Every structure is written in C-alpha cells, then in structure tokens.
C-alpha cells in the first residue's frame, strides 16, 4: 500500500518536526507549482506500512485569506490525499480545532495528531483524547513530535482508516438566518451542479458567505449569472444580519464554529488541573443558566414567563381584532343582499379567515418573546439542556433544534423542522426525529389552542399552555422511543451541540424577526387558509336542503304565524330592535328563531361536509367530537389553522342571528355538547393527529419514501385518536 498522507495544522503546531520524525532521511524539498511556498515530500516506512508524506503549509483556516491557505486547500482538493493528519497543538486545543472542523466540513478524511502533549501537561491541561475522538467521530492520537512519542500509534490509526470511503461533510448549524440561506443555496447549487465536481455544495455556499475570493472568482468564471444569483442571496442575509443582530456572516460563522468546538471541549475533553482559565462572561452565565439543577428550573420559569407575557399582553388586542371582525360581519350582514354571496362572504371569508387573523396579536407577542430567547443565544442553551433527556429516548442532540424549530416552545413549523434534521448524521436518528417533530405545537396549532383555552380554561391560560407544551414533548419523546425500539432500531451516536456566546439582542433585530414570522402567518391566512376556507364553505353549503324539506320549514313558520293575531305578527316581523315587544311576541320570535336554527342545522347536516362529519360521528363520539368538530378536523388535514376557521364557519352557518354572537370562543362555551373535557380532548387530538399536507410531503421527501409520509398520517392519527378517547372516557367516568 502506498497511500499519500498530508500533514496539516496551524503554524508552530509541530508539523515539520513530525514530518522529519516520520520520514527521516527520505525527503526532498521543492516548491508548490507557480508559488514560492515550500513543498516537502518524503516516505514513511515502518511496521509494515509505507506512505507518501506531504508537509502542507501551516494555516489557521481553509478560507482563502492567504497564499498558504490557498495552496493547502488546492492541494487537498486536486490531489485528494488518502488522509489528512491534522497536527493539533494540545496546549491550545480550541483554537487549533477550528481548522479541524473545516477539514470535516469539506468532507476530507482526517485524523488528529494531538501534539505537544508534554507542553499541555506542564501547563496543567489534561485532555481526554478518547472522548474527543468519540465526539468528533475521527481518530485522535496523542503525540510528542519532538521525542517521536506516539508516532507508531499515529501511523496505525492512519493505516486503519486510510482505505475508508470519504466521510460525509460535517454540517454545522450556523443559526437561523444563515442556516436558511445555506439550505437555499445548497439546493440551488446541487440542482445546477455548480462546482460540485470539486467541492461539496454546502461548502461552496459557506465560502460564498465567507466571501472567499478564490471560490467566488472560480464561480464567476464557471457560470456568471448563477454566481450572481448566489451572491445576491449572500447579500440578502448579510443585510439581514446587520439589521437584526448587528453582525455579518463571517463573524457569525466563526462564532458558531467556536461555539461548536466549545460545546465539545466542555464535555470533559479538557480538564484544567489548576484554576488558571479565565472564565469568559458567557461561561460564567452558563455556570448558572445550564446548571444541572438550576438550569431546568430557570428554563421552565422562562417558558412560563413567555406564555404569561403572551397571553396577558395580547388579550386586549385580540379582543379588538375579534370585535373588528364581528363588526365587519355586521356590516356585511346589513349591506349585502341575502343569498349565496352573503353566505360566502360572512361564513366563508369573514368568519373563516377572521377567526385565524384574530390571533395575529397573540402570535406576534409569542414570536417577540421567542426572538428574544433566540437572538440572545438562550435558545441554544435550552437545546443543550434538553439534549441530556433526548439521548434516553433514542434521539440525538441535534434533534433538539429540529424540535424547537417545529414549535417546541410554541409557534414554529414542522416543515423547516423536518429540514433541520439534515444536520443529523445517523439516518436512523434522523428518521426518528423527522417523524416526531410534527407533534410540536406549530404556529398553526396555536390559534386552535388559543381558541379552546380562552373559551374553557380562561382562568389558567399560561399554565394550560405550558401543560399542552409538556404533553407534546412527552408524547413526541415516547413515540420516538417506541419507534427506536421497533421499526427504527439502532445504536445512538455521540452528540455535539453548538453554544454560541450570549449576545444582547438588538431592538431592531427583535422587531424584524417578529414581523417576518407574523407576516408569514398573515400571508398564509390570506392565501392558503382563504382558499381552503372557501372550499370548505362550499362543502358545507352544497348540496342545499331538498325542496321538500325547505318547504316543510316554510310551512312550519307559516303555521306558527297564522296561529297568532296579526298585530303580533306585525310586531315580530317588522321590529329590528326588540324594544317594546310584548311577552307573547317575544315568545313567538323565539319560536321562529328555533325553526330557523333547525333549518340551518339540517342544511349543514345535509351538505357534503355534514355528511362526512355525521358519518364519522359514530366513531368520534368516543372522543367527544360531534359532527361539526369532525368537519373542522377533516379540514385540518390541509392546514391546522383551518380547524379554527372551519369551526367558525360551521357555527356561523348553523347560526341564525349573527348580531347576537360574540366571538367564536363565546359561541363554543354556550354550544351544546361542549365542555372543558371536550375541549381538552380536542386539544390532545390536535397535538397528535396527522401532520398538515405540506409537512407530509416534506417528510416523504426527506425520508426518501412516500411510505414514511403515509406512515406519519396514519400512525399519528391513530395515536391521536386513542389518546383523545382515553382522555374523554376517563374524564367522563370521573364526572367532568
């Protein structure tokens, strides 16, 4: 075997010393073609192995900031050595690992020579090489180049790994904004096969973000217009970062890399036997905030505070919104001619979309709170703490971020959540994660919960919201455990979690992040939800009552009116306001309204959606859902917000006096068949049942098979239904 190995590392890490130690006399010195950078080559022969060894120029990074970096990188890309031996100065570990990460991000096979172990020791630094190797997933061999110690073990490790196929490029999370941009660029670059014959797509994207001159030049030559397109994405995220966090991509990327490294080293990799390490401010804060005992308590208090903040301060504006849509409905009622158009506008559009839009203030407050947690870096700590728990359930540290993105705290979306699982390297852990993230409380489920909580648990909104969140997590984790012990069995892999330094969020940043998410919500209500709302309205309106039945109600009304004196009839039919109605007239009016209500209800039952709802009722009654709720839940397969809009439409179609109805939550409280228990059962069902259609498509795509998309729909709905039935039946037995 004569593989080539390249020695790489920071200047003064001991490369040349090790190179001389390995190659002895068998070496020669030249220059890299075209540049005056020294190129040393030699042969290692010993204990049965023979390798070509190259001493690469010393570099701190692999971005084209200097000639040395360009030379080293070009060599790696063009010559593709069998293995890079990364010489790492153990007495300065975190700084040196920065380069290591970049090899890994390029998907280059790498092994670490943990050099200067003697220096580290005299400085009171103890390093656990095995742990480091586990966490990074690459071989790590302690060496002292000057005395040749560890040389043999190092070559053993190289020989044992050199013939392996190249590892998948490491994917680090660079924070929400950059991740989103990276995902977008990576997709485009792959689709265009832009430079992908030489470099991994994500790496190219990363270099564009880092403004790597060499790669950008290369890209511009390769495909000028496409390069332009990528540069404009970079410009966008640069502007965005400067607006929101007062930083720029390169700084953010470096921060996150060091965060990643720090997260590794703090897991028992480095031990300082003397208290000489200066604690950075972030570390000091972490001592408290991620403390084993205090951390979780603080975390629950913070979440509780978030919910309390959201519900308390959004109450008034939500009320204004509801009043506004109520008023709008009234205006439409008074000004539109009766008939289908009026029904469409009031029941389909205003009550449907209005129900969803009414929650905009609440969503906005929630997102504002979450932006604070995210921009300050606390959210990453939440992930870090939950990570310990995750491993118990067969998931991985990187799963946590996916859960949080999907709405682990509240108000995310399963679609980016499912995409975020791409950072998981083990396919099984990834599958288990992407199948369970839809259980989180995404932004679309929020209005459903908010509606039901406001109606039935108004006293304890924040607590109930916290309970809902905990149920979602517990359910997701238990299901993950179930999956990991049955259909997706397998070993768990070590995890690493990035901890960027804490930073003070900027006000401008908070507002921009809040507004972006709120606007997404509003736009969805105005487009997708509006469309579905209208379709469902049509399903709830057609086919209309058959002539004969409609005539029966007409006859009933006529019969009622002929049975009383004409003066009363006159009073009842003409009076807009019920001022001065005699008790007798009042009674007649009520009876008339009852007939109207019965007619509206039979019409709804007779409609297509009504028939579906009533057919399912036999089954869903076990969980306390009547036919109207069924209609809403069926609509929720398209998008969860639709549950609210459909309930709005269903109750307004079955309603005869819109002027008297207040908000939908009040309507529900007074509606027959509704109780806190029914509401709770519906909440449970909403947490767990099939992901919305878009999420299912995304799951199928990311899992690589339609089978898993179908699985998530069927499996989740079965789980949801079983839990709701259990809750409802147990609750009924206990007399709730």
Token pair of 287 as six digits: 């001592």
Residue 124 site contact among Mg ion, ligand GDP, none (CB < 5 to 8 Å, cut-off depends on kind): none
- Residues written for the chain: 736
User: What are the residue ranges of helices labelled H in 46-193?
Assistant: 67-79, 93-105, 117-122, 129-136, 151-161, 176-192
> Among Mg ion, ligand GDP, none, what does residue 146 contact (CB within 5–8 Å per kind)?
ligand GDP
Closer residue to Mg ion in complex, CB, 58/142: 58
Distance in angstroms (rounded) separating the CA atoms of residues 398 and 575 = 66
640 binds ligand GDP (CB under 6 A): no
CA angle 485, 487, 491 (to 5 degrees): 50
What is the 3-class SS of 402-431, one letter each residue?
HHHHHHHCCCECHHHHHHHHHHCCCHHHHH
At 222, list the tokens.
């390769």
Q: 640 with 445: CB under 8 angstroms?
A: yes
Q: Taking the CB of residue 672, how many other CB atoms lie within 10 A of it?
A: 5
β-bridge partners, 110: 84
Using a 10 angstrom Cβ sphere, with 0-12 exposed, 13-18 middle and 19 or more buried, the burial of residue 118 is: middle
Integer Cα distance of 712 and 691 in angstroms: 7
Work out how close the CB of 113 gets to ligand GDP at its nearest, in angstroms, rounded to a whole number. 9
115 binds, among Mg ion, ligand GDP, none (CB under 5 to 8 A by kind): ligand GDP
Supply the minimum distance, in Å, between the C-beta of residue 11 and ligand GDP.
5
Comparison of 56 and 451: residue with beta carbon closer to Mg ion: 56
Q: How far is the CB of 8 from Mg ion (least distance, A)?
A: 11
Residue number, 73 or 517, with CB nearest to Mg ion: 73
Instruction: State whether residue 64 is helix, strand or coil.
Output: coil
Among positions 42, 57, 58, 648, the unique one binding ligand GDP when judged by CB under 6 A: 58
Out of 118, 134, 601, 617, name the contact with ligand GDP by CB under 6 A.
118
Among residues 5, 8, 15, 635, the one that binds ligand GDP under rule CB under 6 A = 15
| Residue placing its CB nearer to ligand GDP in the complex, 150 or 169 | 150
Pairing of strands 49-55, 2-9: parallel
The answer to whether 269 and 128 have CB atoms below 8 angstroms apart is yes
Q: Quote the least distance from Cβ 31 to Mg ion, whole Å.
A: 15
User: In which order are the strands placed within the sheet that holds 38-46?
Assistant: 27-31, 38-46, 49-55, 2-9, 83-89, 110-115, 140-142
Instruction: Compute CA distances 315 → 247, 312, 365, 516, 651, whole Å.
Output: 35, 6, 10, 22, 23
Category of 548 on φ-ψ map: left (φ > 0), alpha (ψ -120 to 50) or beta: alpha
- Residue 43 site contact among ligand GDP, Mg ion, none (CB < 5 to 8 Å, cut-off depends on kind): none
Q: Which is nearer to ligand GDP, 9 or 200 (CB)?
A: 9
C-alpha–C-alpha distance, residues 46 and 146, integer Å = 18
CB of 275 to ligand GDP, least distance (A): 24
Question: Residue 116: which of Mg ion, ligand GDP, none does it interact with, CB under 5 to 8 A by kind?
Answer: ligand GDP
Closest approach of Cβ 273 to ligand GDP, in Å? 18
Query: By beta-carbon distance, which residue lies closest to ligand GDP?
Result: 14
**What residue 11 binds from ligand GDP, Mg ion, none (CB within 5 to 8 A, per partner kind)?**
ligand GDP
The answer to whether the beta carbons of residues 40 and 56 sit under 8 Å apart is no
Least distance from C-beta 696 to Mg ion, angstroms? 56
* Segment lying near ligand GDP (by CB under 6 A), choices 14-22, 461-469, 540-548, 702-710: 14-22
- Contact between 56 and 75 under an 8 Å Cβ cutoff? The reply is yes
115 touching ligand GDP, by CB under 6 A: yes
Residue 420: C-alpha distances to residues 101, 173, 324, 417 (Å): 20, 9, 38, 5
In the list ligand GDP, Mg ion, none, the entry touching 119 (Cβ below 5 to 8 angstroms by class) is: ligand GDP
> Least distance in Å: CB of 88 to Mg ion?
15
Instruction: Quote the CA–CA distance of 205 and 194 in Å, as a whole number.
Output: 10
| Closest distance of CB 515 from ligand GDP, Å | 50
Total residues binding Mg ion (CB under 5 A): 1
Q: Residue 443: what are its φ and ψ, rounded to 5°?
A: -55, -25
Comparing CB distances to ligand GDP, the nearer of 121 and 589 is: 121
Outline where 421-506 has alpha helix (H).
427-436, 445-456, 461-485
**12 versus 527: smaller Cβ distance to ligand GDP:** 12
Do 658 and 329 contact (CB within 8 A), yes or no? yes
Quote the CA–CA distance of 570 and 547 in Å, as a whole number: 27
Q: Is 328 in the site for ligand GDP (CB under 6 A)?
A: no
**Which of residues 16 and 220 has its CB atom nearest to Mg ion in the complex?**
16
Q: Which is nearer to ligand GDP, 120 or 270 (CB)?
A: 120
**Of 10-39, which residues contact Mg ion (CB under 5 A)?**
16
**Which of ligand GDP, Mg ion, none does residue 14 bind to, with CB < 5 to 8 Å depending on kind?**
ligand GDP
Least separation in angstroms between residue 154's CB and ligand GDP is 12
Provide, rounded to whole angstroms, the least separation between the CB of residue 13 and ligand GDP.
4
Binding ligand GDP by CB under 6 A: which of 6, 14, 120, 269? 14
3-state secondary structure of 639: coil
Q: Which is nearer to Mg ion, 145 or 289 (CB)?
A: 145
Partners of 50 in beta bridges: 2, 45
In the complex, least distance from residue 149 CB atom to ligand GDP, rounded to whole angstroms: 8
Options 5, 6, 8, 17; binder of ligand GDP; rule CB under 6 A: 17
Q: Which does 118 bind (CB under 5 to 8 A by kind): Mg ion, ligand GDP, none?
A: ligand GDP
Pattern of binders to ligand GDP over 140-159, x per CB under 6 A? ----xxx-------------
Residue 576 has what DSSP assignment? S
* Nearest distance in Å: CB 254, ligand GDP: 22
Please identify which residue in 6, 85, 112, 116 interacts with ligand GDP, judged by CB under 6 A.
116
Residue 102: half-sphere exposure toward Cβ, Cα within 13 Å: 27
- What's the sign of the alpha-carbon dihedral 717, 721, 722, 727? positive
Measured from the CB atom, the residue of 15 and 202 that comes closer to ligand GDP is 15
Considering CB under 6 A, how many residues would be counted as binding ligand GDP?
16
Tell me if 664 sits within 8 A of 318, measured CB to CB.
Answer: no
User: Least distance (Å) from ligand GDP to the CB of residue 145?
Assistant: 4
Of 6, 8, 13, 289, the residue at the interface with ligand GDP (CB under 6 A) is 13
145 binds, among ligand GDP, Mg ion, none (CB under 5 to 8 A by kind): ligand GDP
Which of 1, 2, 12, 558: binder of ligand GDP (CB under 6 A)? 12
Residue pair 86/111 in contact (Cβ under 8 Å)? The answer is yes
Which of the listed partners (ligand GDP, Mg ion, none) does 132 bind, with a CB threshold of 5 to 8 Å by partner kind?
none
**Nearer to ligand GDP among residue 115 and residue 665 (C-beta):** 115
Give the range of 12-20, 27-35, 263-271, 434-442 binding ligand GDP by CB under 6 A: 12-20
User: Quick check: 209 and 237 in contact, CB under 8 A?
Assistant: yes
Closest distance of CB 121 from ligand GDP, Å:
10
Cα gap 352→361, rounded to integer Å = 17
The residues that touch ligand GDP, with contacts defined as CB under 6 A, are 9, 11-17, 58, 115-116, 118-119, 144-146
The residues that touch Mg ion, with contacts defined as CB under 5 A, are 16
């Amino acid at each position: 075997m004569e593989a080539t190995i390249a020695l790489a590392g920071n200047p003064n890490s001991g490369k040349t010393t090790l190179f001389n130690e390995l190659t002895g006399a068998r070496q020669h010195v030249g220059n890299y073609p075209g540049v005056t950078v020294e190129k040393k080559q030699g042969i290692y022969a010993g204990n049965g192995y023979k390798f070509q060894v190259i001493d690469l120029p010393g570099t701190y990074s692999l971005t084209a900031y200097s000639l040395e970096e360009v030379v080293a990188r070009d060599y790696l890309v063009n010559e593709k050595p069998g293995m890079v031996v990364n010489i790492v100065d153990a007495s300065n570990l975190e700084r040196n690992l920065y380069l290591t990460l970049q090899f890994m991000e390029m998907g280059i096979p790498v092994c670490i020579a943990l050099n200067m172990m003697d220096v580290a020791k005299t400085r009171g630094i103890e390093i656990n090489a095995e742990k480091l190797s586990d966490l990074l997933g690459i071989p790590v061999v302690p060496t002292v180049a000057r005395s040749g110690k560890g040389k043999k073990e190092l070559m053993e490790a190289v020989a044992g790994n050199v013939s392996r196929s190249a590892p998948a490029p490491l994917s680090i999370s660079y924070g929400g904004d950059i991740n989103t941009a990276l995902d977008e660029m990576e997709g485009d670059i792959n689709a265009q096969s832009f430079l992908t014959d030489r470099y991994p797509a994500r790496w190219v994207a990363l270099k564009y973000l880092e403004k790597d001159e060499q790669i950008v030049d290369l890209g511009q030559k390769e495909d000028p217009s496409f390069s332009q397109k990528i540069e404009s994405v970079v410009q966008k995220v640069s502007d965005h970062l400067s607006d929101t966090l007062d930083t720029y991509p390169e700084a953010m990327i470096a921060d996150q890399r060091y965060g990643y490294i720090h997260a590794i080293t703090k897991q028992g990799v480095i031990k300082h036997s003397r208290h000489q390490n200066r604690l950075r401010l972030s570390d000091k804060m972490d001592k408290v905030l991620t403390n084993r005992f205090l951390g979780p308590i603080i975390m629950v208090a913070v979440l509780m505070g978030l919910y309390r903040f959201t519900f308390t301060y959004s109450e008034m504006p939500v009320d204004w919104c509801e009043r506004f849509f109520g008023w709008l409905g009234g205006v439409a009622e008074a000004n539109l001619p009766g008939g289908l158009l009026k029904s469409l506008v009031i029941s389909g559009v205003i009550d449907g979309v209005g129900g969803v839009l009414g929650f905009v203030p609440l969503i906005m407050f929630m997102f504002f709170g979450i932006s604070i947690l995210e921009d300050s870096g606390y959210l990453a700590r939440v992930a870090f703490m939950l990570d310990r728990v995750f491993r118990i359930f067969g998931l991985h540290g990187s799963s946590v971020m996916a859960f949080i993105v999907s709405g682990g705290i509240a108000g995310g979306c399963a679609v980016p959540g499912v995409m975020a699982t791409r950072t998981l390297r083990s396919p099984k852990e990834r599958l288990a994660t992407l199948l369970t993230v839809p259980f989180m409380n995404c932004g679309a489920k929020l209005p459903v919960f908010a509606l039901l909580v406001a109606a039935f648990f108004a006293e304890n909104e924040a607590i109930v919201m916290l309970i809902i969140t905990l149920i979602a997590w517990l359910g997701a984790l238990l299901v993950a455990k179930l999956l990991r012990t049955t259909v997706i069995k397998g070993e768990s892999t070590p995890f690493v979690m990035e901890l960027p330094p804490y930073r003070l969020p900027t006000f401008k940043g908070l507002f921009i992040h809040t507004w972006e998410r709120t606007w997404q919500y509003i736009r969805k209500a105005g487009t997708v939800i509006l469309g579905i709302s209208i379709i469902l309205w049509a399903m709830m309106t057609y086919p209309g009552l058959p002539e004969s039945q409609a005539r029966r109600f007409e006859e009933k009304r006529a019969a009622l009116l002929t049975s009383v004196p004409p003066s009363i009839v006159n009073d009842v039919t003409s009076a807009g306001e019920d001022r001065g109605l005699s008790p007798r007239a009042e009674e007649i009016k009520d009876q008339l309204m009852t007939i109207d209500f019965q007619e509206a209800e039979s019409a709804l039952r007779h409609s297509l959606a009504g028939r579906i709802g009533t057919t399912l009722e036999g089954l869903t009654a076990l969980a306390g859902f009547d036919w109207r709720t069924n209609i809403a839940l069926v609509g929720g397969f398209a998008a969860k917000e639709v549950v609210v809009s459909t309930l709005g439409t269903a109750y307004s179609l079955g309603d005869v006096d819109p002027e008297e109805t207040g908000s939908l939550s009040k309507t529900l409280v007074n509606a027959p068949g509704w109780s806190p228990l029914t509401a709770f059962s519906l909440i449970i069902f909403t947490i767990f049942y099939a992901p919305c259609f878009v999420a299912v498509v995304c799951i199928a795509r990311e899992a690589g098979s339609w089978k898993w998309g179908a699985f998530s729909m069927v499996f989740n709905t079965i789980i949801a239904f079983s839990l709701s039935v259990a809750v409802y039946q147990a609750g009924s037995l206990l007399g709730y």
